[in-house]
Amino acid sequence: MNNFTAGIVSWLLLPVAAWYGLGVRKRTPRLLPPHGPQTGKLGDGAAQIRVLFMGDSSVAGVGVDDISQTLAPQVARSIHARNSETVSWRAAGANSAMAKDLRDYILPNIDQRDFTHIILCIGTNDMKNFLTANRFKKGFGGLLYAIHARWPQAKVIWSPVLNMPDVPALPPILTWILKLRTQIINSMGNRMCRERQAIAATPMSVHSDSGFAIDRFHANAKGYQFWAEHLTRIIMDGKEL
């Protein structure tokens, strides 16, 4: 199904998605991000690799109880284990954030200017909020422009929206509708990355439910570890998988 048809079909099914979405929200426990420092370093001396993570609840670490189990420090550990280089990390994530929120509220409040890599974990809320391709283009494309203006030497990597049928919390009819919205968001995100000097990572393949937290939507420590290893290969290789 092309993106135009996917858009029409999904909008026609919006009442169905809203009904099932309310049911999921009602029975799903509300998880909070863990407390702890949002920056860290592994290794001695000055960091050769300095990674900024910006995104939604996945960057905030929803799904685990300890900050060390979240995505950013797990990526840092994975990089350090691979080549023994000193790695610093900073996480800047917020629940329910969309691309425009990163552009307007998170990025302007980050002062550090020497990041070597910037990881973007964004798009899921844009998808589930039924943003059109043009609205996502404005938010995500503007975010990429702002990143390159502030950190012109940094390598930018975007982690696309997960395949919704892989998320165990969602009923089949809702996953089918959200898969159409994911197609639209990921297609535009990949286009923006090609046009604006960023790397679009390949979406992860989920082989079991063991990587999900108790809400069956967010990652748990194992899920973040798998995601971290996926991103580490892209960071170190400097190319798509």
What integer pLDDT is reported at residue 237 of this predicted model?
A: 78
What is the per-residue pLDDT across 52-66, written as a single tens digit (0 to 9) for each? 999 999 999 999 999
Q: Is residue 5 over pLDDT 50? A: yes
Contact 34, 65 (CB under 8 A): yes
Q: What is the CATH number of the domain that holds 170?
A: 3.40.50.1110
Tell which residue, 191, 201, 207, has the closest CA to residue 230. Answer: 201
- Domain extent, residue 215, equals 3-237
What is the per-residue pLDDT across 191-238, written as a single tens digit (0 to 9) for each? 999 999 999 998 888 888 999 999 999 999 999 999 999 999 999 875
3-class SS letters over 5-49: HHHHHHHHCHHHHHHHHHHHHHHCCCCCCCCCCCEEEECCCCCCE
DSSP E strands in the chain: the ranges are: 39-42, 49-55, 87-93, 117-121, 155-158, 199-200
Residue indicated by tokens 């960057």: 59
Domains contained in the chain, number:
1
Residues 22-31: what's their mean pLDDT? 92
Torsions phi, psi of 53, nearest 5?
-110, 125
- Six token digits for residue 184: 């639209």
Contact 64, 34 (CB under 8 A): yes
In angstroms, how far is the first alpha carbon of the chain from the final one? Answer: 25
Q: Is residue 239 over pLDDT 50? A: no
What is the per-residue pLDDT across 130-181, written as a single tens digit (0 to 9) for each? 999 999 999 999 999 999 999 999 999 999 999 999 999 999 999 999 999 9
What is the per-residue pLDDT across 16-25, written as a single tens digit (0 to 9) for each? 999 999 999 9
Comparison of pLDDT for 83 and 146, the residue scoring more = 146
